[in-house]
Amino acid sequence: KQEVTQIPAALSVPEGENLVLNCSFTDSAIYNLQWFRQDPGKGLTSLLLIQSSQREQTSGRLNASLDKSSGRSTLYIAASQPGDSATYLCAVHSFSNTGNQFYFGTGTSLTVIP
Amino acid sequence: NAGVTQTPKFQVLKTGQSMTLQCAQDMNHEYMSWYRQDPGMGLRLIHYSVGAGITDQGEVPNGYNVSRSTTEDFPLRLLSAAPSQTSVYFCASSPSGGETQYFGPGTRLLVL
């Protein structure tokens, strides 16, 4: 069964700092990997989707990389802002004995201090 | 587009009661799914559907039923609620399953 781990569980940084969030997964047979943002009491908002054949995706101040062979992905946030404070989740779309499924990590709670 | 909508936003049930969580999307997506989110456990897939009339089990299907009679709607039924089903439930959709997923705002369920 695919296991997805996110480290650290919580992170606090001063405004303006660049930061990296980590995601690791145990089975490299994946379709894609997706990064989400979740604000307290809200649903998930998709940030970036990386297909298994891609190495990275960029959107504004966000850059996500994927190393399928080592089972790792990183989300790089440049010049962090207080509005970036949220929980960041990664999800892996992969095969399982019950079909193809999405497996989520438990998230990294980010606080950007003004 | 309203995107993915879920009702109710919050529900309290007593053990043994039944209820249906509603999910609808107006993006003509074929793939729809239900997750539950529990502290320290991340989101776990309950059931999913790749199109009208087709459903399949996810990681934690026990205690839940689904049906997909139309492309737009994907209700989740709890037949006999248990305290272990206290959670936040999210519905999601995507065009065919391998693309960006769009999530609803969630339903908070408390089973006493």
**A41 band by pLDDT with thresholds 50, 70 and 90:** confident
**B10 band by pLDDT with thresholds 50, 70 and 90:** very high
Q: Within 10 Å of residue B9's Cβ, how many Cβ atoms? A: 10
Contact between A89 and B105 using a beta-carbon 8 Å cutoff:
no
How far away is chain A from the Cα of B81, in angstroms, using its nearest Cα?
23
| Per-residue pLDDT, A7 | 92
Contact between B33 and A102 using a beta-carbon 8 Å cutoff:
yes
**Cα A111 from chain centre:** 16
pLDDT digits (tens, 9 = 90+) for A63-106: 999 999 999 999 999 999 999 999 999 999 987 665 668 899 99
| Per-residue pLDDT, A100 | 67
Contact between B99 and A49 using a beta-carbon 8 Å cutoff:
yes
Give, rounded to a whole angstrom, the gap between the first and last alpha carbons of chain A. Answer: 41
| A3 close to A25: Cβ distance less than 8 angstroms | yes
| Per-residue pLDDT, B41 | 83
Contact between A42 and B105 using a beta-carbon 8 Å cutoff:
yes
pLDDT digits (tens, 9 = 90+) for B53-103: 999 998 899 999 999 999 999 999 999 999 999 999 999 999 977 788 899
How far away is chain A from the Cα of B106, in angstroms, using its nearest Cα?
6
Residues of B in contact with A104 (CB under 8 A): 35, 42-44
Residues of A in contact with B96 (CB under 8 A): none
C-alpha–C-alpha distance, residues A45 and A84, integer Å: 13
Give, in order, the Cα–Cα distances in Å from B4 to each of A59, B50, B109: 23, 16, 18
Q: How many contacts does A have with B, using Cβ atoms within 8 A?
A: 59
Nearest Cα residue to B64 out of B87, B31, B39, B41:
B87
SS3 B68: coil
Residue A50 has pLDDT above 70, yes or no: yes
Amino acid present at A19? L
**Comparing A96-100, A103-107, B2-6, B22-26, which segment has the lowest mean pLDDT?**
A96-100
Give, in order, the Cα–Cα distances in Å from A24 to each of A52, A63, A68, B13, B102: 14, 16, 10, 37, 23
A71 touches chain B (CB under 8 A): no
Q: Name the maximum alpha-carbon separation found in chain B.
A: 38
Residues of A in contact with B43 (CB under 8 A): 44, 89, 91, 102, 104
| Per-residue pLDDT, A99 | 62
CB-neighbour burial class of residue A112 (10 A; exposed 0-12, middle 13-18, buried 19+): buried
Residue A111 has pLDDT above 90, yes or no: yes
Give the whole-number percent of chain A exceeding pLDDT 70: 96
C-alpha–C-alpha distance, residues B49 and B25, integer Å: 13
